[in-house]
Amino acid sequence: MDGETHSLEAIINNNLSSKDLDEFNRIYYGRKNHLEIKLKDSSLVAAKDNDFDVAAYAFPAKKESTRPPRIVKVGVIQHSIAAPTDRPIIEQKNAILAKVKKIIDVAGQEGVNILCFQELWNMPFAFCTREKVPWCEFAESAEDGPTTRFLRELAIKYAMVIVSSILERDEKHADILWNTAVVISDTGNVIGKHRKNHIPRVGDFNESNYYMEGNTGHPVFATRYGKIAVNICFGRHHVLNWMMFGQNGAEIVFNPSATIAAEAGSEYMWNVEARNAAITNCYFTAAINRVGYEEFPNEFTSADGKPAHKDLGLFYGSSYFTGPDGVRCPGLSRTRDGLLIAEMDLNMNRQIRDRRCYYMTQRLDMYVDSLKKVLDLDFKPQVVHENEK
């Protein structure tokens, strides 16, 4: 991807140093020191040999006298596709699985407890084409499809919980499709699944040609390592979506995404939304985005009057973690595959809730009453005019 900016971090580190860099880090990231964790030499060698980046950062909590630390290692993987989109479906999928397995192996040897991929990680993001053939062939069973079977073996091998976003084929209900995150336990069992709550209808992201809004609510999955939830892609634009995962007790919320840097893209919002959700809901968040350009065999338009094209634009990666205090780590590259690891102490969630009292002061009763009025067919907005008595 010649000519593309590597990362925001690269721009900053190339232009700031000493006190200016410390001040930027303090103001932007929330701390001067990123608390980078040393990785195993074998991990660095594997990353170099297989052409992906790897980095790790710590999110410690204050020591308590009544609770021991709850240290969890969490990893996220961002990557590009591995075969041209005109190749047979099985070849494309197997190429991605083979490529990503090498990254999973590094996560495993680094002791990652929970691992999450980007949205629909085992396929190209083909919904921009609005073609049903051949892209619907990527759909598979959430419970026992080939991708889940592949990951179950790795979950057992590394005692790792894995969150896998796939195109689900609902074989029990007329073979319809869903955008689904499958949560696989460290025992290899499927704990459950969550279907994407909010479906975009904008430009190339008119995904309702393939699947509609999910019907699984806001589930939180109680794993051996902590309570996790999955806010899939477009759901990050909806603050109530984030909120409900927190109300259901989530300690870590993943946001597997596929979003672009083009004119109609979201890059300027990317560094804000998952971070803001961590702050307002007092939990850890992980924002994961795919990488690269994906060119399709046939041209398509974006309903914007511009010429037809064969790709959406750059998927800009930049995956990152944020703690409940709002402190975040540097992101991965905009252009390269990568593994990002966070060593987090989940005790921080309650510490921040005690300190900031956001849950105590959120006034759910008031908003429930207001929202009921909004849904009334005769709703009248509460607007006060200057001369109104």
Residue of 73, 196, 294, 343 marked catalytic: 196
What are the angstrom distances between the C-alpha of 276 and each of 89, 117, 248, 284, 334?
38, 21, 18, 11, 21
The helix or strand, by DSSP H or E, that contains position 365, with its residue range, turns out to be helix 364-374
Mention every residue, 6+ apart, whose C-beta is less than 8 A from residue 352: 282, 323, 324, 325
Phi/psi-derived region of residue 118, left when phi > 0, alpha when psi is between -120 and 50, beta in every other case? beta
Residue of 119, 140, 273, 343 marked catalytic: 119
Mention every residue, 6+ apart, whose C-beta is less than 8 A from residue 242: 231, 235, 236, 253, 277, 280, 281
Cα(58)–Cα(103) distance, integer angstroms? 20
Q: Is 63 a catalytic residue?
A: no
The helix or strand, by DSSP H or E, that contains position 352, with its residue range, turns out to be helix 347-356
**Are 117 and 104 spatial neighbours (Cβ–Cβ below 8 Å)?**
no
Q: Is 19 a catalytic residue?
A: no
H-helix segments, 133-288: 146-158, 239-247, 267-281
Q: Is 357 a catalytic residue?
A: no
Residue of 116, 128, 233, 329 marked catalytic: 233
Annotated catalytic residues are 119, 196, 233
